[in-house]
Amino acid sequence: MSESREVVRFDPSRRGDFFRLHGAANGCGWCFCVAWWVPTWDGWGERTAVENRRLREELFDRGEHDGYLLYSGGVPAGWCQAGPRDRLAKLVRQFARPADPEAWAITCFQIAPAHRRQGLAGYLLAEVLADLKQRGARRVEAYPKRAAEFDPLEMWTGPESLYAKAGFRVLADHARGPVLGLEL
């Protein structure tokens, strides 16, 4: 019998679960999903976990609950950062995307190591896309890593194959990877 699983839109009541998932035990106790929120990559590698957590807390405090949590057996097992694309100036600039206030972006995708290889990534993505469509999103972009770069620590935007299976197509290719898009 498989464990119960559920995807929920992140809200303030789930802050503790976010930090449990984004912790050292899951190999991600440094970024706290703020990479796209800082203005530039300059100095990114020198930022501390404390600085990144502080920025994440500030984002939460100002109402930026920009993602979805996946629970497996009642335990936080995955995260998908998603929201209106143009709010992330660094991402728009890096991938030379034209302004589009109707475009949404999936910018971070994580499954905790203990929960990998159980089909949860596809489930999480499908649930996120269904909710985005219900919320009125018409276009979604993703910025995955190429399969040749498959290092689990570097797959924080998700693997390209995950999005391809969900019907995303290549909109543009860049040195840092493809820009994929899906019409909802």
pLDDT digits (tens, 9 = 90+) for 71-121: 999 999 999 999 999 999 999 999 999 999 999 999 998 988 888 888 899
Domain range summary for the chain, segments of one domain joined by +: 5-183
* Nearest-angstrom CA–CA distance, 46 and 34: 14
Is the separation of the CB atoms in 132 and 140 below 8 Å? yes
Q: Tell whether the model's pLDDT for residue 125 goes beyond 50.
A: yes
- CATH superfamily, with its number, for domain 5-183: Gcn5-related N-acetyltransferase (GNAT) (3.40.630.30)
Structure confidence at residue 150 (pLDDT):
56
Q: How confident is the model at residue 169 (pLDDT cuts 50, 70, 90)?
A: very high
Structure confidence at residue 177 (pLDDT):
82
